[in-house]
Amino acid sequence: MKALWWWIVALVAVGGPARAGAAVQPPGVARMAALFGGRTVRLSGPASVRWLPGGRGYLVEEVDSVAGLRLHAVDPVSGTRSAWLPRRAEERLVSEHGRLSGRPTRGLPFRRFEFARNGAALTYTADGARYLFAIDSAALHRLPLPARTGPLDAGTAEPGAFSPDFRRYAFIRDYDNLYLFDPTTGSETRVVQGTSEDNLVGFLGVGPWFVWSPDGRRIGYVRAEQRRLHSYPFLRDLDRHATVESSRYPFATDSNPTLELRIVEAATGRDVLVTRTTEETPFLRDLTWLPDGTELTYQLFDQWESRLELRAADATTGRSRTILVEADSAALDPVNSFQLLSDGKRFLWASERSGWRHLYLYDVQGRELARLTSGDMVINQVLAVDERRGVVTFAAVTNDGLEQHLFRVGLDGSRMERLTPEPGWHSLSADPAGRFVLDRHSALDRPTAVVLRSIDGALIRPLATSDTTGLHALGVAPPELLRLRGADGTELQGLLFKPADYDPRKRYPVIVSIYGGPHTKAIRNRFETDDGRAAIAQLGFLVLEVDGRGTMDRGKAFRNGNYLAMGRTDVDDQAAAVRALFRRSDVDSTRVGITGISHGGYLTLMAMLRYPDIFRVGVSQAPITDLRNGPRQYIGRIMRTPSANPDGYARADAVARARDLKGRLLVSYGTMDHNAVPANVMQFLRALIDAGRPFDVAVYPQGVHVLEGKDAPHGMKTMLSYFLEHLRPDGWEASWAALWQ
Quick: pLDDT tens for 573-617. Answer: 999 999 999 999 999 999 999 999 999 999 999 999 999 999 999
Q: Kindly report the backbone phi and psi dihedral angles of residue 592, in degrees, each rounded to the nearest multiple of 5, phi listed first.
A: -125, 125
Q: Spell out the residues 6+ positions from residue 475 whose beta carbon is closer than 8 angstroms to its own.
A: 500, 501
Distance (Å, whole) CA 499 – CA 541: 7
Q: How many CA atoms lie within 13 A of 366 on its CB side?
A: 11
Angle at 499 between CA 498 and CA 501, to 5 degrees: 125
Q: Is 640 left (phi over 0), alpha (psi -120 to 50) or beta?
A: left
The one-letter amino acid at 92: R
Residue 157, number of CB atoms within 10 A of its CB: 8
Q: Kindly report the backbone phi and psi dihedral angles of residue 173, in degrees, each rounded to the nearest multiple of 5, phi listed first.
A: -130, 135
Q: What is the pLDDT of residues 196-212, one digit of tens each?
A: 987 665 556 788 889 99
pLDDT at res. 22: 53
Contact 601, 681 (CB under 8 A): no
Distance (Å, whole) CA 351 – CA 357: 5
Q: Spell out the residues 6+ positions from residue 220 whose beta carbon is closer than 8 angstroms to its own.
A: 210, 211, 213, 261, 262, 263, 274, 287, 289, 296, 298, 313
Residue 535, number of CB atoms within 10 A of its CB: 28
Residue 462, burial from CB neighbour count under 10 angstroms (0-12, 13-18, 19+): exposed
Residue 378, strand partner residues: 397
pLDDT at res. 194: 87
Q: Are strands 42-44 and 446-454 parallel, antiparallel or unpaired?
A: unpaired
Q: Is 166 helix (H, G, I), strand (E, B) or coil?
A: coil
Contact 99, 111 (CB under 8 A): no
Which has the closest alpha carbon to 460: 438, 441, 442, 443? 438
Cα distances from 287 to residues 205, 208, 214, 368, in angstroms, run: 12, 8, 13, 21
Q: Are strands 664-670 and 617-621 parallel, antiparallel or unpaired?
A: parallel
Report H helices in 113-174: none
Q: Spell out the residues 6+ positions from residue 489 whose beta carbon is closer than 8 angstroms to its own.
A: none
Which has the closest alpha carbon to 663: 569, 567, 594? 594
Which has the closest alpha carbon to 204: 188, 179, 223? 223
Q: Spell out the residues 6+ positions from residue 110 whose beta carbon is closer than 8 angstroms to its own.
A: 69, 124, 125, 126
The one-letter amino acid at 723: F
Report H helices in 622-728: 632-639, 646-651, 679-690, 711-727
- Helix H or strand E segment including 360: strand 358-363
Residues of the chain with pLDDT under 70: 1-23, 65-67, 199-204, 334, 336
Q: Which residues of 276-285 are buried (b: 16+ CB within 10 A; e: fewer)?
A: ebeeebbbbb
Residue 667, strand partner residues: 620, 697
Using the 8-state DSSP alphabet, how is residue 627 labeled?
Answer: G
Q: Is 97 helix (H, G, I), strand (E, B) or coil?
A: helix
pLDDT at res. 54: 87
Cα distances from 695 to residues 666, 681, 732, in angstroms, run: 6, 12, 21
